[in-house]
Amino acid sequence: MRDGVVLYADIYRPEKEGRFPVLLTRLPYSKDLPYYSHRYLDTNRLVENGFVVMIQDVRGRYQSEGEFHPFKHEAYDGYDTVEWAAALPYSSGKVGMFGLSYYGYTQLLTATVKPPHLVAIFPAMTFNDQRNGVCYRNGVYQPRFTETWILESIVPDLLKRKYDNPMERKEAIQKLADYLNRIIDLYRFVPVNLWPPLKELDVADYFFEELSHPLEDEDYWKQTSIAYQYENLQIPAFHLGGWYDCFIGPTLTNYMKMTKSGKLQKLMIGPWGHGYFASVQGESIFGVQASGDWIDLEQDITDLHIRWFNHWLKGIDTGLEKEPPVKIFVMGINQWRNEMEWPLERTEYTPFYLHSGGKANTNKGDGFLSMAHPENEVSDTFLYDPKNPVPTKGGRTLFAGSLTMGPFDQSAIEEREDVLVYSTDPLTEAVEVTGPIKVKLWAATDVKDTDFTAKLVDTAPDGKALILAEGIINAKYRNGYDPEKELAEEVVEYEIDLWAISNVFLPGHRITLEISSSSFPHFLPNPNTGRSLIESSQMIKAKQTIYHNEQYPSHIILPIVPAKEN
């Protein structure tokens, strides 16, 4: 690297003589571990198809020198590695990058500094901003992501680096194992800035550094964000995502923003969770055509990469520029479909309003949804207790393994008194919802600060209620990163972003919206005191009031795709 630090890579190359384009991935999970370094791709096939494959440990990880700090060095370390790879005697001088999650983001950060020999990238299931979608989401801290990731994926190598003495290392690893075995209980520890595992193990100080910077500290958060520099991303990119991926919102934003560059962008979204490309997700079976190993019964994910990089690094006409740039999996009918843009131009953004009572009552009979504008209706209330938060069950999660994410039944959760449930009548015909989803909520609380959540659910005739999308907003940060004044029981308008989905609600099913104030451990509960459980452990209950009347018409905006005429 330009500062003298040496980074190490494993290099796989064709047996035959010649010069070949290089495919580079840069990851913090060890180039020597196939589960991470090869994960969802068959790198042997990449080599057999005439590519040099380079898998590099990023700075401060495993074999590479230096000190690891998430994302801090990835832009210019990526630049230096790309240019080094392009100059190798067996390199054609053209370099592409691939990788998922963290090593999807190393591609984007590298691309912002424009190494001359980086030709195309293939970022999968990745993000764009630590402040929204990684550490936090709309002002709410996400413990399941940061704590699990650091303790499970980052700390083991840090301990090996810290302790030369075998006995000390063994003791530290045993402590780590004990913490990992109790990770679900440790999510509940507050204040988070004294989180015992990292305090006792005395590693990963950047965890506490991030917690010390408030969201309004823009200079700090912008250092590792691409959200403020899309104009620098002038490169062809294939964006791969999943409807149940924890980064589906940022993935879609990256695609939409980078299409403005004029460089070809491709987008494919399957019914997948984070790094998990099986045809069975959660409690749903989407069919073999949904699997990343047999996409639309035509190709697998490795095929996608070979075709993409054949086009950009070898100049082979693979027809990419003539075909629709978007391919999405439509759940409910479980079919792949090609599209010309995202969001779809033919979308009809339709408000479904919250109402009291009605014949479509769900389990507790909270209310119903319809396209009719509310009139003079009684508001709904619930008591939110941060000591007893609504449990997370499925959705776009990233904790305790891949089997905790995806479409899971919410019907038991809907029985809780702190979850308001609004459903349509059973549908008489199929309704397709494909695109971005937002909830406009008018609400009041009797505390200084609080959160509100919204969850879109597909309720089957037998009562099974599968989660599709979920969002949350912190009252303090409801209008951005400049904190609002403390609440004082006034009615406040909130916009809750549920990101996006593609699902057909079948006849007999109901469209259901859940409103509450928590989802744990997905999100850190709001203590309702005006402070955060990051630096405080005090918690009080909040009386939440949800309005749906002529003046305050709370509603969910659904992107309805009209059925094609015969």
CATH number, domain containing residue 423:
2.60.120.260
pLDDT digits (tens, 9 = 90+) for 376-390: 999 999 999 999 999
Would you say residue 4 lies in a domain?
no
Distance CA 564, CA 566 (A): 6
Q: Model confidence at 398, in pLDDT bands (50, 70, 90)?
A: confident
Residue 354 has pLDDT above 60, yes or no: yes
Clarify whether residues 412 and 504 are in a common domain.
Answer: yes
What integer pLDDT is reported at residue 485 of this predicted model?
87
Question: CA dist 119 to 58, 62, 158, 314, Å?
Answer: 21, 28, 34, 11
Residues 6+ apart with CB under 8 A from 323: 338
Question: Are 275 and 370 in the same domain?
Answer: no
Residue ending a domain, choose from 286, 313, 339: 339
Q: Looking at the predicted structure, is the pLDDT value of residue 564 above 80?
A: no
Residues 388, 416: contact at Cβ < 8 Å?
no
**Do 265 and 163 share a structural domain?**
no
Tell me the average pLDDT across 204-220.
Answer: 94
Q: Compute CA distances 30 → 27, 125, 149, 526, whole Å.
A: 7, 19, 15, 36
Q: What is the pLDDT of residues 304-351, one digit of tens each?
A: 999 999 999 999 999 999 999 999 999 999 999 999 999 999 999 999
Cα–Cα distance for residue pair 481/215, rounded to 1 Å: 6
Nearest C-alpha neighbor of 476 from the set 487, 490, 464, 465? 487
- Among all residues, which ones are annotated catalytic? 101, 245, 274
- In this model, does residue 402 exceed pLDDT 70? no
Rg for the chain (alpha carbons), in Å? 24
- Tell me how many domains the chain contains: 3
Q: How high does pLDDT run on average in the chain?
A: 95
Going by C-alpha positions, the residue among 562, 561, 550 that lies closest to residue 354 is: 550
Q: Let me know whether 92 and 25 are in one domain.
A: yes
Domain membership of residue 433 (yes or no) is yes
Residues 6+ apart with CB under 8 A from 396: 244, 245, 246, 248, 273, 274, 405, 469, 470, 499
Residue pLDDT, tens place only, 129-178: 999 999 999 999 998 788 989 999 999 999 999 999 999 999 999 999 99
Cα gap 314→244, rounded to integer Å = 34
Q: Is the pLDDT of residue 540 over 80?
A: yes
What is the mean predicted confidence (pLDDT) over 275-291? 96
The conformation of residue 259, written as its DSSP 8-state character, comes to: G
pLDDT bracket for residue 365 (50, 70, 90):
low
State mean pLDDT over 522-546: 97
**pLDDT given for residue 566 in this prediction:** 39
185 in the same domain as 92: no
pLDDT over 90 at 36, yes or no: no
Mean pLDDT for 492-508 is 98
Write out the E strands in 483-524: 492-505, 510-516
Beta-sheet pairing, 348-356 with 367-370? antiparallel
pLDDT (0 to 100) of residue 39: 72
Asked if the structure places residue 220 within a domain, the reply is no
Does 427 share its domain with 502? yes
Asked if 533 and 437 sit in the same domain, the reply is yes
Q: Among 339, 368, 385, identify where a domain stops.
A: 339
Kindly state the DSSP code that residue 536 receives in the 8-state scheme.
-
Q: Does a structural domain hold residue 185?
A: yes
Q: What distance in Å separates the CA atoms of residue 141 and residue 522, rounded to the nearest whole number?
A: 9
Residue 423 confidence (pLDDT) = 97
Say if CB 310 and CB 49 are below 8 A apart. yes
* Residue 2 domain-assigned (yes or no): no
Distance, CA of 44 to CA of 36 (rounded, Å)? 15
Q: Which residues of 280-296 are buried (b: 16+ CB within 10 A; e: fewer)?
A: ebbebebeebbbbeebe
The residue range of the domain holding 85 is 9-128+233-339
CB 546 within 8 A of CB 381: yes
Residue 390 in domain: yes
Same domain, yes or no, for 427 and 541? yes
Q: What is the DSSP letter of 58?
A: P
CA–CA gap between residue 70 and residue 90 (Å, rounded)? 31
pLDDT attached to residue 362: 42
Give dist(CA 341, CA 339) in Å, integer: 6
H-type helices in 268-375, by residue range?
Answer: 301-314
Residue 382, amino acid: F
Same structural domain for residues 166 and 192?
A: yes
28: domain CATH number is 3.40.50.1820
Q: What is the pLDDT of residue 486?
A: 84
- The verdict on 329 and 470 lying in the same domain is no
Where are the alpha helices (H) located in 344-467, listed in sequence order? Answer: 411-414
Q: Position 410: which residue type?
A: Q
Burial class (CB in 10 A: 0-12, 13-18, 19+), 156: middle
331 and 244, same structural domain?
yes
Handedness of CA 326, 327, 330, 335 (dihedral sign): positive
- Same structural domain, 331 and 249: yes
338, amino acid identity: N
How do residues 251-265 score in pLDDT, each as one tens digit? 999 999 999 999 999
- The domain boundary, picked from 182, 214, 246, lies at 214
Please name which of 104, 122, 74, 59 lies closest in space to residue 224, comparing C-alpha atoms.
Answer: 74
Which of 275, 262, 274, 276 shows the shortest CA–CA distance to 231? Answer: 262
The neighbour count for residue 493, using CB atoms within 10 Å, is 13
In whole angstroms, give the CA distance from residue 4 to residue 2. 6
The whole-number pLDDT of residue 565 equals 54
